[in-house]
Amino acid sequence: MSWPPFDSPCLTPPPEEAGPIGSCLHCQVRHLAVCSVLSREEMQALEAAASVQVLESGAVLARQGEPRKHVYTVTRGALRLVRLSADGRRQVAGFAMPGDFVGLSGASSYQHDIEALADTELCRFSLDAMQRLGSRYPHLQAKLLERACVELDSARDRMMALARMNPTERMADFLLKLAAQQARAGNPGPSIFLPMPRADIADHLGLTVETVSRCLTTLRTRGLIALPGTYRVEILDMAGLKALEAA
């Protein structure tokens, strides 16, 4: 199954194979990425260590357990992070959108399968190059630590949401977080894009696909959202969604 293109900020279209990045200074998601703290001169050093990697929809970037050799910033498209439990159950741990940093970990291997939800473009760095840049520019290292802390906080928030929220509240929380992320990337709404199928949302929120569909219908019936398409949600009442999330 294929999904429509993810209409998010992107770089100048790259070649089919990985190669030197066009210009970090003109990257439309720079303000979201870990490199946002760097000066013009430092960006040039970063650019020299970077390359572009392009994934077609459905392509696999890395498999759980493979040696961790690179880290990435998503500049266009979307990724899903999937983990399989010992009994084979599938859990979608999260989604990486433009500006997100992927592969930040203390482990020597990737902790998830990383798969493209749509045609996706990545800014790629080897671990060695990123470590050298972090040592050379301490504020970049601090930004990486900040990003790791944000991811930890997000994981804790998700655990709390799964524990205390009913399914409809989980869906409201998910939509609000996605809307906030897309607003930071330059899409102020009210229409937001869902780059993932319903099954991924279900595996992320600990629900069934049928429950996800019922929750979306409930939110629409309450006048909080509209559903103009399978991969589109229009938020009609932001305050109402936030009130439901905080219930």
Number of domains in the chain: 2
Cα–chain-centroid distance for residue 212?
Answer: 20
Residue 181: which CATH number?
A: 1.10.10.10
Is 165 contained in some domain? yes
Domain termination site, one of 97, 114, 144: 144
Residues 136 and 31 placed together within one structural domain of the fold: yes
DSSP SS3 for 13: coil
Residues 241 and 202 placed together within one structural domain of the fold: yes
What is the spatial distance between Cα 105 and Cα 93, in angstroms, rounded to a whole number? 14
- Residue range(s) defining the domain that contains residue 231: 160-245
Is 3 contained in some domain? no
Q: Give pLDDT tens digits along the chain (247 positions).
A: 334 444 443 333 333 344 444 466 667 776 766 676 677 777 777 788 888 999 999 999 999 999 999 989 898 999 999 998 778 788 999 999 888 888 877 788 998 999 999 999 999 989 888 888 778 878 777 777 776 777 667 777 767 766 779 999 999 999 999 998 888 877 777 899 999 999 999 999 999 999 999 999 999 999 999 999 889 999 999 999 999 877 6
Residue range 107-164, pLDDT digits in tens: 889 989 999 999 999 999 898 888 887 788 787 777 777 767 776 677 777 677 667 7
HSE (side-chain half, CA atoms, 13 Å) at 165: 24
Q: Which of 155, 75, 72, 61 is nearest to 114 (CA)?
A: 61
Residues 195 and 83 placed together within one structural domain of the fold: no
Residues 138 and 167 placed together within one structural domain of the fold: no
Residue 31: which CATH number?
A: 2.60.120.10
